[in-house]
Amino acid sequence: MAKGKKGQNKSPQRHNDASENNKTRDGEATEKLSEAELLKIENEELNNRILRLRADFDNFRKRTIKERQDIARRSNEKLITELLPALDHFEMGLQNARENNVPAAVYDGLKIVQNQLLNALEKVGVSRIDAEGEEFNPHLHECVSHLPSDEFAEGIASNQTRCGYKLGDYILRAAQVVVSSGPTAPENTVIEKENNNTGEE
């Protein structure tokens, strides 16, 4: 009888041992799963950090390029600004040569030198602003006066008194212009206005 009881007591013990083993395996599986999740999170964080570093480096590279371009532009700007009066004098000299019937050889020589200067400036990004016949633009043009014009509509630059220049998109100097105030008023209209003003008085 005692042996039978001892045999009966062994079965629950084996059941408990099996349960403990299952719990251990479940715990190990959970621990392994947690490690995998942690590795995945760390990997995502590293990838995000790499992407941020790439973006920061790209921004730094673009900023450095822009700063170099700005330095070069400022250096060129100072030199070009000093040359603009000489270009103006060339322009006036050519105009005087045309008006005073200077020999063609002299005129052509001046024109060649002017073109060489302009070509050299174009290579560094300088371009002329020619405004005559264009609609007045306060960003590109400087109005020196308003005059009636039968040729140009109101608000159009009827005459350019000084050429303007740009360095890329940067305005070195606006073009000076005379802006049309519209067609000249007929004499009859002027007389009628004067009579009306006199009658009102």
pLDDT tens for each residue of 144-201: 999 999 999 999 999 999 999 999 888 999 999 999 999 987 765 545 555 555 555 5
Residue of 157, 133, 154, 148 whose CA lies nearest to 186: 148
Residue 131 lies in a domain: yes
Q: How many residues does the chain have?
A: 201
Instruction: Report the run of H or E that residue 25 belongs to, with start and end.
Output: helix 2-99
pTM of structure: 0.58
Residue 113 lies in a domain: no
Which strands make up the sheet holding 164-167, listed edge to edge? 126-129, 164-167, 170-173
* Residue ranges making up the domain that contains 160: 126-201
pLDDT tens for each residue of 26-66: 555 555 557 778 888 888 888 888 999 988 888 988 888 88
Residue of 101, 95, 164, 103 whose CA lies nearest to 130: 164
Q: What is the pLDDT of residue 29?
A: 54
Residue 86 lies in a domain: no
Better-predicted residue by pLDDT, 122 or 193: 122
Residue 192 lies in a domain: yes
Residue 18 lies in a domain: no
Instruction: Please state the rounded mean pLDDT for residues 92-110.
Output: 88
Number of domains in the chain: 1
CB 168 within 8 A of CB 125: yes
Residue 188 lies in a domain: yes
Residue 184 lies in a domain: yes
Q: What is the pLDDT of residue 2?
A: 46
Q: What is the pLDDT of residue 175?
A: 95
Residue 72 has pLDDT above 80, yes or no: no
146: domain CATH number is 2.30.22.10
Q: What is the pLDDT of residue 156?
A: 95
